[in-house]
Every structure is written in C-alpha cells, then in structure tokens.
Structure 1
Amino acid sequence: MVKAATDGRYPVRVSGPLALSVHPFRLELMQRGFTPRSSQDHAYILADLSRWLEREGLGPGQLTAERVGEFVQARRDAGHRRWLTDRSLRLVLGFLRDAGAIPPQEHGSVGSPVEGVLEKYRSYLLRERRLGERTVRGRVDVARRFLTAQLVEDRLRLEKLSPESVAGFVLDTSKQYATGTMKGVTSSLRTLLRFLFVTAAVDRDLAGAVPSVAGWRLSRLPSSTDAVPFLLGSCDRTTKSGRRDFAILLLMVRLGLRAVEVSRLCLQDVDWRAGELVVRGKNGRVDRMPLPADVGTALADWLRHGRRPSAFREVFLRTVGPDAPMARQSVVMVPRCASLRAGIPVVAAHQLRHRAACQVLAGGGTLGEAAQLLRHHGEDSTAIYAKVDMAALAPVVRPWPTADER
C-alpha cells in the first residue's frame, strides 16, 4: 500500500503495514500542541518504520523491542540520524501501542532473572543512594549489560561470578568507549557489585576486582575562555524563547546552577521579597542562594512576558509543543544552541558552572567560597579550580634558574 499524508507543505509518501496510521498520528500531535513542522518531522519516523517493516516482511504484531532496535540500527547504517531521537521513537511507539497496532511495551519477561535483580537495584539507587533519575538510568544500563553477559542458558549464575569475569567485561567494554565514558562504566560496575554483596546475592565483595581506568582528574585546566557576552547577546529578548534562554544562561553564569537544578526550579522557589532562590540539587540537597538583581530582572521578564499560562509550577516551560516543563536535556541544549547562534565554539552547560567558580577565584575569593557557590559538600570537589587561581599559586612557584645559577 502507498499513501500520501500531507498538509500541503510536507508530503509523506508511505507504504507498508502502518501507512494508514501516519496521518492520524500527525493530526494527534498537532492537537496536542506540536507545530505542523514538528508533527510532520515525527510522522516521518512512523513512515520510515512502516517502510522498514515492509522491506523486512514483518507485520505490526512482530514489532518487539528487539525489532525496534534493529530498525534503529538500520536507520543509523543508512545515515538517517537527524530525526531519530528517543523522544520521536517514544511518541511513535506510544501512539501505536495506544491504538493497539503493536504489542504492549515489554518490561522484561515474567520471571526474568536479570530484570528481577535490576528492579531491586533500581530501588536501592533511588531510595538508599538517593541518586537522580538520569544517573540511575545510566547505572542500570551498565548493570543490565553486565548481568546479561553472565547468563548461562537463560539462568543468572551469580555464584559463579569471579574477578576474571569482572575484568573480562571491563576489557571488552573498553574496546567500545573512550576513557571518560569508561570511568562511568567502572564506577557503575563497582556500585552494582557492592549491592550484590550487601544483599547476599554473592558471597564476596568483587568491587575491588574492577580495573581502574587510566586518567587523571586534575590533568587539564578548566576552560577559561569567556564566551558569556556572546551567549547572552545571541538571545533575542523580543521573543518568548529568547527571554527564557537569557534567564537560564544568567542562572548558570551567575549562580553556577546545574541544568537539572534549572529544570527543577519552581515558582514557589523564588522569594522575591527576601531576594533569595531555593535550589534543589543532587542527592536531595536544598540550598537558599541570594538572587542577584540582573538574574531577578531576567526571571521577571520571562515570567511576565514569555511564560505561557500553565498549571505546572516549574519556572521554565516549553515554548512550543504541548504545555510541559523543560526537561533537563532541553536546558542542556540552551547554551549549545546559543553558541551556534553566536558563531562561537560550542559552550556546554557545565562549562558555565566552571566559569562561575573561576570568577570567584579571580575576584579574590577562596576555594571555600567557590565550593559554597557550587554547593559542593567539601573543598575536594572544588580542588580542580585551584589550578586557575594564579594569585594563590604564585607564592609557591619557584623561579626558573638563570644560566649563572645552573
């Protein structure tokens, strides 16, 4: 079957078993508040999925999680990366599942030994360790890969775990990832192994068997290039998105807020009379910080002239699409998009946090004051910024010997 789904501007030629779902999907997205262009871009994913099923000789009922993974890989192999985002895929699959066109979401087979352990591990990370959702997802993903590698004839034999199997997994994984990523993998693996030990799933603590990844924490200087004027200047403050992005950038630059802290900021967290801001940070930490005048002005401008009326209490909402708070990843993209608009090298959100600490030191502040601004639990986490405190380092630097002194 071949079908054309069009609104007069962006035609989609569709074939395959899901062809009749493309146009209703696009219309539903527009009813939910997506722009016509955005709705059409997401519809392209569904159209491509339908064509892929046709090429593979598959029906919608055969679209399991494994088949979805094959579809994603096929698009990557063909070089189609632009619109295949996790969000697009969730929208497409959610629509098809709600319509009964494809099987319900798989949450692991009933009695799956790996999924059973992962469910307990996820609960441990959230309740006992109090980690953020994003961190938990990353650690659970590493745990899933490791535990799946230990399956023998669909049985999880944790009693067979050995230092050799742990080291072998790290070695195999290191062939796929860079040093920075491997540090996260090994850290996650140590956490899993300690969890297995304290829950008596294994009889010994194998966390010490995880090899260390070569790499030195204080080997590089934080970026000190001040691109802030260019980032702020790129925001068109006559538009809603420009007002919002300007306020977000100032929060990162002046107060060193993380992207997740910006996304969690709620209306009741801004105390206008006291000139304070409640920041909800990592591990459930809550701090009250002074609200600088320029940051307050930018926030007020966004709230009065940019933010849409909404039942949500979060300060920063999406300016297009359905009414919803900005996700952490959307906040992360604010300085990146501003960099592209300004025509400068990409500035990541965390670099602005680094910049805030460097400004404290450049103004004569101490590491303790920088740690207080960044809301670190101790000065050890702020030690990296000692390298840019040239005034403090100068007294301990020995002069370079002259020719006469050699």
Structure 2
Amino acid sequence: MGDLPHPASALVAQWGGYLANDRRRSAHTVRAYVGTAHRLIDFLGGYSGEAVEPEALVAVGAADLRAFLAARRGSGLGAASAARELSGVRAFLTYVAEQQGRAPQVPRTRAPRRPKTLPRPAAPDEAMALAEDAGAFASEPWIGARDLSILLLLYGSGLRVSEALSLTARDLPIGETIRVTGKRSKMRVVPVVKAVREAIVEYVRQCPYPIADGAPLFLGARGGPLSADLVRRAVRAARVRLGLPDTLTPHALRHSFATHLLARGADLRSLQELLGHASLSSTQIYTKVDAAHLLDVYRHAHPRA
C-alpha cells in the first residue's frame, strides 16, 4: 500500500489473521478493518514523509488521529463511515500495543457528530455495524461472539432483549425458525436467517461453559445467566465508538426489524404476529415511523420542500 514500504504493514496482516481466526469476525469485518489499518499507515507515512515502523504506531496521538479523520472526511467520507473508520483504528492500535507488550493507550478522539434528524430506525448497515463493533470490542472472543449473536437476533428476528435472554439449551440447534415466549406468556414463531444461525453456532463453539439441559443459551462472564443491562452497556459503548445516535438502543434494533419489513411490503397482520403484539394498534406505530422517515427524506431531497 502507498509509495513507501512500511514495516508496520506486517502487523496489519497479523491483525487480519487474529480477527478472522481468534475473534472469528466475518470476512466483511476483517476486510473493512484491514483496509482501515492500511489507510492509517499510508496516511502516517505521507504525513511524516518516512516509512512507518511498528513503534511509531504506539506513539500515535490525538492530533494524528484528528488529521487522519480530517483527510478521510475531505475525501468524501460521511460522518457515520468516518466514525466506523475511527472505531477500526482504535481496535488496531489497541492490538499493536498489546503485541508489543505495552498497555493500550489509544488517544481519545471524539467520533464525528452526525447531523440531527428525526428519530428513525437504524439503517441496515448501521445495525450490522453496531452488532459487529460490540462483538469486536468485547473483553474476550467468546463474549464478543455472544454479544454479536444477541444483537443479530434483535435485528434479524425482531426479538426483545428479554426474549433473546430467555432462550435455553433446549432451543439448540437453532433452525430456520424458533419459538419464543413474549409478553403475557404469548408464544410465537420467528424466522432466523442464516447469518444469525451461524453467529449462534460460533458462540456456542467458543463458550467456555457447558450449555446443556435447561441452561440459558446466553451466559454471563462467570457462567451464570446474562443480565440485560450488560447487553445495553455493550450497545451503548459501540454506539459511542461509531458516533450513532443515542436512540439506537437494543430495543431500537427490534423497531428497525419491523420498519424495514414494512418498507419491503410486509402487511401489518404478519408483522403483528412476528413482533408478538397483542393488538394491531401496537403494530400500526411502524407506519408512522416509516412516514416520518419518508417526510425527512422528502424535505432533504425535494427542490420545492
């Protein structure tokens, strides 16, 4: 990459292997993070006019990161994408410090602010970025696999956090559908797409505790039941790293599931069943959310608006 042969680039290849093999990140995530690391090294080389050594990455300061982000924004990168770029840089610099036996001291740089708009569901790429970022920054690989699985269930199947955490070993192996028990003990069947099934299989493979009999599917760090507060905390941290709005909570992923299905032609009755709403009036709120989004798009795009 770039005009200079940077010795630090060898660390990028190692990091890519670590993400793929140890952290079990998706090929898409590995490709995006590796690309970010190469862009950072190329920028630092051009910035200093010298080949970048591994030691130089440990010395990267807040001013360097601000300059990098400014250059990326100047090339047309949007606020959300720049926030994801910053998240990847932080993860890479943390890895580099650990490889050199140093305590990670990644400079604190605020993610670019996103323009304020009407509250809206997460875009599909934002929902996926949130889930993958929460997984990538977990304290241990198996915890990252767990958090990724849970958030993909919320967005991919429209589950409430409590419903995801109520799943047990008896629900394994996860098929194309699962039965969940919602509010008022109302049971429903929801679809589980391939990406979600694969994430759960990987989590079960990595989990250091036995998941058998009636044990909860998703376990805490010490092997006990997982608290919903820990899921919310992981989402909050990922949201800050990515510069996403405060309204993007775990429950908002369920809203996003519903709104995206509605936008793609799902009828309200089917949506009511998938969400486990007792009445159709509870489901009709999503038509208002979708209308608000369309109005916002119109106001920003129509020359007469």
Q: Structure 2-normalised TM-score?
A: 0.50
Deviations 1:161-218 (A, max 9, x none): xxxxxxxxxxxxxxxxxxxxxxxxxxxxxxxxxxxxxxxxxxxxxxxxxxxxxxxxxx
Contact kept in structure 2, 1:271 and 1:277, CA below 8 Å: no
Structure 2 residue matching 1:287: 3-state secondary structure = strand
Alpha-carbon distance, 1:222 to partner:
5.3
In structure 1, what is the Cα distance between the partners aligned to 2:131 and 2:211? 26
Contact kept in structure 2, 1:263 and 1:331, CA below 8 Å: no
In structure 2, do the counterparts of structure 1 residues 383 and 280 end up closer, same or farther at CA, with 3 Å as the change threshold? Answer: same
Quick check: 1:252 aligned with 2:154? yes
Alpha-carbon distance, 1:233 to partner:
3.2
Quick check: 1:378 aligned with 2:272? no
Q: Any gaps of 5 or more consecutive residues in structure 2? A: 1-116, 296-303
| Aligned residue in 1 for 2:251 | 350
In structure 2, do the counterparts of structure 1 residues 232 and 328 end up closer, same or farther at CA, with 3 Å as the change threshold? Answer: closer
Alpha-carbon distance, 1:337 to partner:
2.7
In structure 2, what is the Cα distance between the partners aligned to 1:316 and 1:270? 12
Structure 2 residue matching 1:288: 3-state secondary structure = strand
| Aligned residue in 1 for 2:127 | 228
Quick check: 1:364 aligned with 2:265? yes
Letter in 2 for 1:300: V
In structure 2, what is the Cα distance between the partners aligned to 1:295 and 1:252? 10
Letter in 1 for 2:220: R
Counterpart of 2:164 (choices 220, 240, 262) is 262
Within 5 A, what are the aligned runs for 1:6-405? 223-226=120-123, 227-234=126-133, 235-236=135-136, 239-272=141-174, 274-309=175-210, 313-319=215-221, 322-346=222-246, 347-390=248-291
Contact kept in structure 2, 1:256 and 1:356, CA below 8 Å: yes
Structure 2 residue matching 1:365: 3-state secondary structure = coil
In structure 2, do the counterparts of structure 1 residues 314 and 307 end up closer, same or farther at CA, with 3 Å as the change threshold? Answer: farther
In structure 2, do the counterparts of structure 1 residues 310 and 251 end up closer, same or farther at CA, with 3 Å as the change threshold? Answer: closer
Structure 1 residue matching 2:283: 3-state secondary structure = helix
In structure 2, what is the Cα distance between the partners aligned to 1:221 and 1:343? 16
Contact kept in structure 1, 2:181 and 2:188, CA below 8 Å: yes
Letter in 2 for 1:285: K
Give % identity: 32
Deviations 1:354-373 (A, max 9, x none): 10111011111122222222
Contact kept in structure 1, 2:122 and 2:252, CA below 8 Å: no
In structure 2, what is the Cα distance between the partners aligned to 1:383 and 1:389? 10
Q: Any gaps of 5 or more consecutive residues in structure 1? A: 1-219, 395-401
Contact kept in structure 2, 1:221 and 1:387, CA below 8 Å: no
Deviations 1:213-248 (A, max 9, x none): xxxxxxx97523422132033122881121111101
| Aligned residue in 1 for 2:70 | none
Contact kept in structure 1, 2:272 and 2:283, CA below 8 Å: yes
Alpha-carbon distance, 1:291 to partner:
2.0
In structure 2, what is the Cα distance between the partners aligned to 1:388 and 1:369? 18
In structure 2, do the counterparts of structure 1 residues 370 and 339 end up closer, same or farther at CA, with 3 Å as the change threshold? Answer: same
In structure 2, what is the Cα distance between the partners aligned to 1:307 and 1:262? 20
Between the two proteins, the alignment pairs up a number of residues equal to: 172
Deviations 1:130-168 (A, max 9, x none): xxxxxxxxxxxxxxxxxxxxxxxxxxxxxxxxxxxxxxx
In structure 2, what is the Cα distance between the partners aligned to 1:239 and 1:333? 17
Give 1 or 2 for the bigger CA radius of gyration: 1
In structure 2, what is the Cα distance between the partners aligned to 1:350 and 1:324? 23
In structure 2, what is the Cα distance between the partners aligned to 1:287 and 1:307? 31
Contact kept in structure 1, 2:188 and 2:274, CA below 8 Å: no
Which 4+ runs in 1 deviate beyond 4 A? none
In structure 2, do the counterparts of structure 1 residues 388 and 343 end up closer, same or farther at CA, with 3 Å as the change threshold? Answer: closer
Contact kept in structure 1, 2:204 and 2:211, CA below 8 Å: no
Contact kept in structure 2, 1:307 and 1:316, CA below 8 Å: no
Answer 1 or 2: higher relative contact order, Cα 8 Å, separation at least 6.
2
In structure 2, what is the Cα distance between the partners aligned to 1:332 and 1:232? 12
In structure 2, do the counterparts of structure 1 residues 324 and 298 end up closer, same or farther at CA, with 3 Å as the change threshold? Answer: same
RMSD: 2.9
Q: Structure 1-normalised TM-score?
A: 0.38
Letter in 2 for 1:314: P
In structure 1, what is the Cα distance between the partners aligned to 2:190 and 2:168? 14
In structure 2, what is the Cα distance between the partners aligned to 1:329 and 1:385? 26
Contact kept in structure 2, 1:239 and 1:306, CA below 8 Å: no
Contact kept in structure 2, 1:270 and 1:278, CA below 8 Å: no
Contact kept in structure 2, 1:269 and 1:279, CA below 8 Å: no
Structure 2 residue matching 1:308: 3-state secondary structure = coil
